[in-house]
Each structure stands twice: as C-alpha cells, then as structure tokens.
Amino acid sequence: MPRSVTEWQAAARAKLDPALWDYLEFTHPHGPTDAAGCWDAIPLYPRILRGATAAGIGATVLGSSVTLPILTAPNGRATRFHPDGELAVLRGARAAGTIAILPSSVAASAATLAAREPQARWWQQLYMLNDRGLMAERLARLRGAGCGAIVLTADLLPDGRAAPPPPPRAVWESGGVEAPACYSGASLDDLEWLVGEAGLPVIVKGVLRPDDAALCVTAGASGVIVSNHGGNQLPTAVASAIALPAIVKACPDADIYVDGGIRSGVSVLKALAMGARAVLVGRPASYALAVAGADGVAAMLARLGDELAHAMQLCGVSDIRDLDGSLLTQA
C-alpha cells in the first residue's frame, strides 16, 4: 500500500475519473492560501537528550479516548470514491482507533450505518435548517443511533458551481432519503437552540476568528473546528494553520480542532503544539478510501500516527500531553 499521504494522493488520482478528481481537489484558483504549505512553513525547534525512546499518542476528545489524535473529516458523499462509502470510512476509523465525522447527506441512514458497524464511534456533521421541527427530528434520530456529537458546519453557501454527477447509493443505505437542505444562514440564536435541543455536544466547524470562536463557546458549543472548508468557499480566506493559535488563546477551556492541509505527522505535531485537541483529515481519507477502501483508511491513519510518534521522539517528547508552543519558538 502507499505510505505517505502524497503517495495515497497519486494513487487516487490514477484511479478516479478526471471529473471526480477535479471535484475532490477543487480550491478557488485566485487566492486561497496553500494550506499544506502553511504547515510546512512553521519551523520546529526540537529538544535533544530527553530520553524519548517511545511516544504515547493516545488522546481524549470530548471525554472519549482515541488511539491517535486524528479524526476523519466529512468530505461529501464517500460513495463517490468507493462503493461502500461511509461504511468503509467507519470501519477504517474504528480499526485505527479513532472517530469518523459523517457528512450531513447520510444523516437519514445513520441508524443503518451504526447497526452495520456497532463498535464504530462517529459524530454527525449537519447544516442548520430553516425548519427547526425538521432539525429536531434529525437530532432525535441521531441520538437514538448512538451519535457522539453534532458538528455544525457554518461556512458554506451554495455558489452555483457545477456539481459532479450525483453520488451512487450504497447497498447498505436505508430507504429514507434526506430532505433537501435549506440553509438558513445560521445565527448565534440558531446555535443556542441547537445546543439546547441536541442532547449531545455541539462542535462548530468553519471558525477562523478568535472572537467568533469565543461567541460559539459562550453560546454553549463544546468546541470549534478551525477550518476554511478546504479552500473551496471564500478566496483568500486565512489558512487554518495561521488562524489556530489565536483561537486557542481565546478559548482556553474549549476543545479546539483543526483541519486543512494536514498531510503528515509533523503537521499533526505542530497543530497539537499550538493547542489543538486533535486534527481532522478530509481529502487524505478520500484518497485512501478510493484506493483501498476501509483498509486504506485504516492504513493511512495509522501511518500518520506513526509519523507523529516519530516526530515527537525527534523533538524529545514522550507523551502527547507534553506537546506545547515551546517547540515552535526559539528559546
């Protein structure tokens, strides 16, 4: 199997239809910051002679232990990349000892997915709907299916861009069809309502400003995901690697997650040293899924974990809890 995310990317490109590949890799052509490059540009200042002969990379997210601090991000319907779709993502994440965040388009089939993979842990991504009654029904179904958290994505507006062909349905999908999404331009009032109604922790995805992050936490969110939606929404939006430190500082008691451009264990280390609780990977999970299904997702995640452990040892750190900003500044 491929080893690095770069190798998974090349293998997926060779396998996928060119139109689907363009959809997966789309970023605005005029100005989004190179997300991976921003992580690469942050220098590390490793410690030596610390006796770091092993590295513990287990973490805790929303009170749940994970084998590695890397979750899979929602990235559109996974059936575009593999016939088993989200079921394969769940299986891969479970095998790696972590959590998958499912896209909103499979919320109606969440109970079916959970029954097929009962040991998997998952969070559900949703968009806020104009119809709160319909939203409440979805939340009730998700609670009943064993969802661990709701991830409210707040940085998407339809832009008229041509959509790829509709994704195929998976053989495991239940008969229910998710109602068309009616995005309301979610407000803080909506977030407060969602926190009160969900009966689950709520994480807000798409945060790039520390003041917005603080408002989300004040409104009851358990945490935020620093993200610019893969660079495919707002041209020139700040990269998450740049936005993360100020948000961590603004919300010291909240769980802060980050996605965008994470392509190596070294980048994971930098995010954790900045104060992130864990990172999310979207496109890398889709690459691995396209190439080798659930086994690919598990292998890609495990490799990132191995890279993280190796980088920690080279930085003189034996436990993930000891990662801090001192690795990113010159003493």
Ranges assigned E (strand) in 18-120: 59-61, 64-66, 70-72, 99-102
Query: Six-digit token pair at 184?
Result: 């309301």
> Judging by DSSP bridges, how do beta strands 99-102 and 64-66 pair with one another?
unpaired
Q: Is 82 a catalytic residue?
A: no
Phi, psi of 99 (to 5 degrees): -115, 140
**Choice among 28, 30, 229, 310 that is catalytic:** 229
Any residues with CB less than 8 A from the CB of 276 and at least 6 apart, and which? 226, 244, 248, 256, 257, 258
Burial bucket for residue 36 (CB in 10 Å: 0-12, 13-18, 19+): middle
- Between the two ends of the chain, the Cα-to-Cα distance in Å is 40
The alpha carbon of residue 174 and the mean position of all alpha carbons in its chain are separated, in whole angstroms, by 25
The residues assigned a catalytic role are 229
